[in-house]
């Protein structure tokens, strides 16, 4: 049985390396994905606003969490797209389905985030 030489790390060494890989992933997404860049800059604006708009810690958590969720889903979608493109650029029904499903997940996260923010705005200013 062959072992993965990268899986033998433990403790603080593993945490430090994993953090480095995560930062590299964020950099790669920012450099290579225009959708991630747009969502990132919206998050930069919306996260501080969540603390102003939210009237309780639950509202702040929902507002901020929904924004972070969009970024998470976009990262996962980008990972799916990169893996599909690594295998082949040829058109294939399964590749299309995987990319469409990832795109649908991003869309649903955006719908959820928008709904939460609209409800909070309604509650704060119009209710």
pLDDT 10s digits, 15-74: 999 999 999 999 999 999 999 999 999 999 999 999 999 999 999 999 999 999 999 999
The domain defined by 33-125 folds into Helix Hairpins (1.10.287)
The pTM score is 0.89
- Every domain of the chain and the residues it spans: 1-32, 33-125
Where in the sequence numbering do the catalytic residues fall? Answer: 74
| pLDDT score, position 62 | 98
Q: Report the C-alpha gap between 101 and 98 in whole angstroms.
A: 5
pLDDT of residue 8: 74
Asked if residue 6 has pLDDT above 90, the reply is no
pLDDT of 1: 57
């Amino acid at each position: 049985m062959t072992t993965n030489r990268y899986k033998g790390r433990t403790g603080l060494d593993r945490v430090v390396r994993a953090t480095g890989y995560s930062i590299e992933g964020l950099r790669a997404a920012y450099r290579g994905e225009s959708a991630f860049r747009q969502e990132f800059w919206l998050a930069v604006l919306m996260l501080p606003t969540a603390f102003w708009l939210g009237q309780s810690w639950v509202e702040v958590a929902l507002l901020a969490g929904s924004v972070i969720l969009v970024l998470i889903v976009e990262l996962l979608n980008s990972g799916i797209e990169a893996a599909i493109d690594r295998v082949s650029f040829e058109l294939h029904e399964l590749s299309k389905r995987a990319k469409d499903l990832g795109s649908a997940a991003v869309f649903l996260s955006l719908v959820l985030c928008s709904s939460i923010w609209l409800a909070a705005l309604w509650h704060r200013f119009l209710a």
